[in-house]
Amino acid sequence: MATYILRISCPDEKGLIYRITQILYQRQLNIVGNDEFVDAQRRYFFMRTEFAGTCQPEELRAQLQGALPAARIELGRPRRREVVVLATSESHCLGDLLLRHADGELQASIRAVVSNRPDLESLARRFELPFHCVPSEGMGRQDHEAALLGVIGGYAPEYLVLAKYMRILTPAFVGRFPHRIINIHHSFLPAFAGASPYRQAFARGVKIIGATAHFVDEQLDQGPIIAQSVIPVDHTHSAGDMAQAGRDVEKVVLARALKLVFEDRVFVSGNRTIIFD
């Protein structure tokens, strides 16, 4: 039997779960996993259901939409996502993703690696992936992003992953991929946003450092957070020590966030995320 993932979000009201599951039952579909949550502040309902059986997805979706006219309904089979990875010169996050991709661990197909510098070409080629260098020096931001889009557009990716891509993207660029650009930031947001977070953390004398994976929006490092983690540090750690330790956290957090997103476990609710793990 085929497995499907059903995602529903809508204003909260009584009887939603009953109406949804009744339709699945009537179609003799077997629910194998189910999560639901109500955002009390927004009075908004979120539900992720995995079910197995034989169905006509468009017919089922139309029936659910008729029963829930105000709902956003997504229905599909589990699948690998088409991804383009953007990086600059640091190799740890990109290398980790390429290893996971080669091992079949990443629920995605990495189509290409794109960078504004040539440093990581040999790493990408080692995994037999196309590498494109789109230099930014001497170019205005809009011209550079136009060249970037020219390369990315050829792959028609569903998601862009910023694996230490050290360029700030304009709102116009971000607007082309709403909630489809995922970034790893080397600090525990909202603390130490922007550049040099480990130097900021060292200067502040923090006792933990961390990393944050988030969707990119128009404001720098302010998009909805997907995953975070921290490790302890103390007064003996220099800013360089913190940066070195932080690299391991960054790899794990980014991989974790991608797994959640690619398995359709993340809903965006305003500037927050609802995650069914």
Token pair belonging to 222: 């302010």
pLDDT reported for residue 202: 62
In CATH terms, the superfamily for domain 2-76 is ACT domain (3.30.70.260)
Picking from 40-49, 109-118, 185-194, which range would have the lowest pLDDT averaged per residue? Answer: 185-194
- The Cα 78–Cα 3 span in angstroms is 7
Average pLDDT over residues 197-223: 77
Question: Which distant-in-sequence residues (6+ apart) come within 8 Å of 200 by Cβ?
Answer: 187, 192
Specify the domain boundaries for CATH 3.30.70.260 within the chain: 2-76
Average pLDDT over residues 21-30: 97
Q: What is the pLDDT of residues 35-83, one digit of tens each?
A: 999 999 899 999 999 999 999 999 999 999 999 999 999 999 999 999 9
pLDDT reported for residue 139: 86
Domain covering 81-275 assigned CATH 3.40.50.170 in the classification: yes
For the chain, percent of residues with pLDDT exceeding 90: 76
Specify the domain boundaries for CATH 3.40.50.170 within the chain: 81-275
Question: Which distant-in-sequence residues (6+ apart) come within 8 Å of 28 by Cβ?
Answer: 53
The answer to whether the beta carbons of residues 48 and 20 sit under 8 Å apart is no
pLDDT of 195 higher than 90: no
pLDDT of 189 higher than 60: no
For residue 133, what are the β-bridge partners? 115
Residues labelled catalytic: 221
